[in-house]
């Protein structure tokens, strides 16, 4: 009960943690750090903080099984690529514009959930049209020329973040949100660090002194925002969490107004209203995934492992004897033993029956 209350509370705090990200990120960029440096150092700071906290206070959340780790790695790669796009776009745009464009991820999430040939109704078309109108107004009616490369990078991040929210609900079915957060962020840290080493600028002592404080603050809020986000997906579902997280736009706009001097023109304010209407038209069933469940890959891996264990226990064979499942051949006797083990000799299947003789045969009863 207490864990549920903590999860719900963290989910409700998602907008606050996500809303400060563009503010601290823009501060670090204005201090001289490039986008690759900000993405890498803030993720490394977040991961270091999480591992330290887990080792001291919550070691039980460090355990993860291989199939679950595979799911976290997939989500981490997607989210890591998206973070590179995000800070690349933030470097070219105002914080308020960047966060408004990032809000398009919910529209992308709805489209991704209909990618398996689901019929597109009039409501979905209306949402897309309104979102496109809002996008044109927000990007085309600002007080200064806008970088279209930055717009493209932010929309690419929105697409990646939509995939992160949708895929995370499958992994969270079987693992606690703190565990998912730890390994998703760890995967992100490996990915963005590799990109920074290859493409980023080195941190000089002067740059460290100027940019490190906002980067460290960004790392703390990144760790908290991911814990809050995945807790929200687990307890609220992907749609409610996504809609709730969109209030981060209001947080970001208010903070950008106070600390960065960002201003929206009257047409852009109208664009924000149109975007809000488009988002509010989304229904819970719109974010139900109709395509292939990516978690089935994990399930199939677990099923194969279980079958190997069951086969070894039944016939005393080692896993190495049945490694090549495609070339495995069962003898007639082994097939017969499997049938008897499952209670399917000539009578109806009784998989839990203990009514067997010393040789494993199901006893017959003359009683009705």
- The last residue of one of the domains, among 265, 292, 319, is 292
pLDDT per residue as tens digits for the range 166-196: 888 788 777 888 899 999 999 999 999 999 9
The answer to whether position 336 is within a domain reads no
What domain range includes position 315? Answer: 296-329
Three-state secondary structure readout of 317-361: CCHHHHCCHHHCCCCHHHHHHHHHHCCCCCCCCCCCCCCECCCCC
Quick one: 237 and 315 in the same domain?
Answer: no
Quick one: 154 and 301 in the same domain?
Answer: no
Predicted local confidence at residue 152, as pLDDT: 93
The answer to whether position 204 is within a domain reads yes
pLDDT per residue as tens digits for the range 125-164: 787 788 788 888 888 777 778 888 999 999 999 999 888 8
Interatomic CA distance for residues 315 and 349, integer angstroms? 20
Asked if the model's pLDDT at residue 48 lies above 90, the reply is: yes
Quick one: 196 and 83 in the same domain?
Answer: yes
pLDDT per residue as tens digits for the range 8-40: 565 567 777 778 888 999 999 999 999 999 999
The answer to whether position 338 is within a domain reads no
Interatomic CA distance for residues 80 and 305, integer angstroms? 30
Predicted local confidence at residue 315, as pLDDT: 54
pLDDT per residue as tens digits for the range 298-354: 444 444 444 555 555 555 554 444 444 444 555 566 566 666 655 555 555 444 444
User: Are 282 and 131 within 8 A, CB to CB?
Assistant: no
Residue with tokens 């990618």: 115
Quick one: 325 and 209 in the same domain?
Answer: no
Quick one: 304 and 278 in the same domain?
Answer: no
Quick one: 210 and 323 in the same domain?
Answer: no
Quick one: 184 and 300 in the same domain?
Answer: no
The answer to whether position 135 is within a domain reads yes
Quick one: 70 and 218 in the same domain?
Answer: yes
Quick one: 223 and 319 in the same domain?
Answer: no
The answer to whether position 244 is within a domain reads yes
Quick one: 91 and 194 in the same domain?
Answer: yes
Beta bridge partners of 362: 356
* Total number of domains in the chain: 2
Quick one: 172 and 307 in the same domain?
Answer: no
């Amino acid at each position: 009960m207490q864990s549920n209350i903590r999860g719900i509370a963290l989910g409700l705090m998602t907008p606050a943690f996500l809303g400060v990200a563009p503010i601290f990120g823009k501060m670090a960029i204005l201090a001289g750090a490039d986008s690759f440096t900000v993405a890498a150092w803030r993720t490394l700071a977040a991961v270091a903080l999480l591992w330290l906290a887990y080792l001291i206070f919550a070691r039980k959340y460090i355990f993860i099984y291989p199939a679950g780790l595979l799911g976290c790695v997939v989500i981490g790669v997607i989210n890591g690529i998206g973070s590179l796009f995000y800070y690349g776009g933030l470097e070219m745009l105002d914080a308020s514009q960047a966060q408004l464009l990032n809000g398009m991820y919910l529209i992308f999430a709805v489209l991704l959930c209909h990618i398996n040939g689901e019929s597109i109704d009039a409501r979905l078309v209306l949402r897309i049209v309104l979102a496109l109108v809002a996008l044109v107004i927000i990007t085309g009616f600002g007080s200064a020329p806008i970088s279209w490369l930055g717009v493209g990078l932010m929309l690419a991040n929105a697409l990646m973040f939509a995939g992160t929210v949708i895929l995370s609900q499958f992994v969270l079915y079987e693992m606690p949100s703190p565990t998912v957060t730890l390994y998703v962020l760890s995967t992100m840290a490996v990915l963005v660090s590799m990109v920074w080493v290859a493409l980023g600028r080195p941190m000089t002592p002067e740059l460290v002194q100027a940019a490190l404080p906002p980067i460290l603050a960004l790392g703390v809020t990144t760790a908290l925002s991911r814990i809050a986000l995945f807790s929200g997906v687990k307890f609220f579902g992907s749609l409610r969490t996504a809609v709730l997280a969109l209030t981060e736009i209001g947080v970001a706009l208010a903070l950008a107004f106070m600390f960065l001097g960002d201003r929206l023109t009257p047409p852009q304010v109208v664009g924000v209203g149109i975007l809000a209407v488009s988002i509010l038209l989304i229904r819970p069933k719109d974010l139900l995934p109709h395509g292939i469940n990516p978690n089935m890959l994990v399930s199939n891996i677990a099923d194969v492992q279980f079958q190997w264990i069951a086969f070894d226990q039944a016939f005393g064979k080692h896993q190495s004897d049945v490694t090549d499942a495609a070339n495995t051949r069962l003898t007639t006797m082994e097939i017969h033993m499997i049938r008897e083990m499952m209670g399917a000799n000539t009578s109806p299947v009784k998989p839990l029956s203990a009514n067997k003789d010393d040789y494993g045969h199901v006893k017959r009863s003359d009683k009705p």
